Amino acid sequence: MRDLLQQLENRGELRRVAKPVDPKHQLAAVTRAVQRAGGEAVLFESVTGSTMPVISNLFGDHGRLCRMIDTGDKTFCERWIALTEACITAPAGSFTRPATAAETAGLVSGTLSDLPAITWHARDGGPYFTSAIFLANDPDTGVANLSFHRSQQISDAELRVRLGSSHDLARYQARAEDKGEALEAALILSAPPEIFLAACASLPIEASELAMAAQIRGEPLAMRRCETIDLEVPASADIVVEGRFLPNIRRPEGPFGEFMGNYVEVGPNHVFEVTHVSYRKDAVFHGLLCGSPEDLRPLEAVTAARVYRAVSATVRGVIDVSCRPNVMITIVKIKKAYEGHAQHVFLAALASHLDYNKVVIVVDEDVDIYDMDDVMWAYLTRGRADTRAMILNDIPGFYRDPKKDHWGRLCIDATMPWGREAEFARKTIPGQDDIDLSDWLA
């Protein structure tokens, strides 16, 4: 984490807050203000109730994500797919190694009370770990899994965790519970980019996100053994909470302001018994504002890569895919080759991810798919509003949707009419991209 912060500071992408900040709402409010002002990461050097600094908005910029996985001249989608394929084929045991003494130096034992207790939203039931990456092994195969799950801080001995039903960790816990057994797991609360981004990946159940992290890093991960449970965790993690999910026990958790921008009310959720807490003496705590750019940009990017992979395997001419400004929308850029090309993309995109493709928009190759203004400009100026929009009624949507609020699909063809491209060619100003304003403005 310290290495990452230094890199960001060198690039002018780190803001510092020296004055004391209240972890109840105030820290979140300042984070939101920084995001609105420019999107840099923000380091809170003095957080009331803890000696540990807090970093937020590390992953809230698409360009930063591209640098973290070293896209080079490729798009995020292309690079992510290449990393995923290499991860899936990596031989077992090739992506981890034992940590050296130097790599585990400086660790101390403590309690949850040593960590910042951040309450993010007005109605949240209390402090939450929002960037917690859970590491657990498949009870049957031993394959390690990384995944995100919100965790309410109840006491030094207990967290209450919502496990999404579609996640591998939920399946692991259910299998252990069927046997009347607890499931051991570790929370990684401050990790370098390769661990965080690997936890965002959607992989086959037989593949490990640790292999994905090693691919992103470009070398095997150094691993250390936990103190109280039979797991190994990345030695690069600044903070690790060890424990186990208790079988057949559910307790009230919530409410909490989730990534879609509304509250999830109190419900019976899993109980995690804390058995050990360790952290580096100079640890920096990573706190993530749910539903903010830091939450959405990584999810959008990896979802876009999943859609890109499926659509480009079915339909030719796919250039790039974006899921901005919310993961529920998919925007596909194509090199249009025939009339009806966009409609073929609709069909492939809808089938590629049944949870998130609530809206699909197809645009021409000259449109910036990371700029919603440009996308809507294309729709509004390049043809009719009615015949280029298609509504699909009563199609199930997001898996966690008991009231069917996310049922239905909207598909929009924002491409130029086939055969009339010259009429819709975008106007340009010669030399506009070569202007350096410092040469012109006093």
Domain ranges of the chain: 74-291, 315-424
pTM over 0.85: yes
Q: How far is CA 374 from CA 262, 331, 381, in A?
A: 28, 11, 10
Q: How far is CA 181 from the centre of its chain?
A: 30
Confidence band (pLDDT; 50, 70, 90) for 139? very high
pLDDT in tens, 342-362: 999 999 999 998 888 899 999
Q: What pLDDT digit, counting tens, does each position of 243-266 carry?
A: 999 999 999 999 999 988 889 999
Instruction: Give the start-end residues of each E strand in 230-358.
Output: 232-234, 239-253, 256-257, 263-264, 267-280, 285-286, 318-322, 329-334
Mean pLDDT to the nearest integer, 238-243 = 97
Share of the chain above pLDDT 70, in %: 100
Average pLDDT, the chain: 95
Average pLDDT on 319-331 reads 93
- Kindly indicate the confidence band of residue 270, based on its pLDDT and cuts at 50, 70 and 90: very high
Backbone angles phi, psi at 396, to 5 degrees: -55, 150
pLDDT over 90 percentage in the chain: 88
pLDDT at 354: 84
Residue 93: pLDDT band (50, 70, 90) is confident
Reported confidence tier of residue 146, pLDDT bands at 50, 70, 90: very high
The better pLDDT of the pair 227, 91 is held by 227
Q: Reply yes or no on whether the pLDDT at 10 is more than 80.
A: yes
SS3 324: coil
pLDDT at 381 > cutoff 90:
yes
Q: Which fold has domain 315-424?
A: UbiD C-terminal domain-like (3.40.1670)
Whole-angstrom CA distances from 77 to 74, 129, 152, 193 are 8, 29, 33, 17
**pLDDT of 205:** 87
pLDDT at res. 239:
97
- What homologous superfamily is domain 74-291 in, according to CATH? Electron Transport, Fmn-binding Protein; Chain A (2.30.110.10)
How large is the average pLDDT for residues 173-180? Answer: 95
Rounded Cα distance, 314 and 252, in Å: 45
- In this predicted structure, what is the pLDDT of residue 397? 80
Mean pLDDT value across residues 87-113 = 93
Residue 401, pLDDT > 90, answer no
Helices (H), 96-239: 168-178, 193-199, 209-217
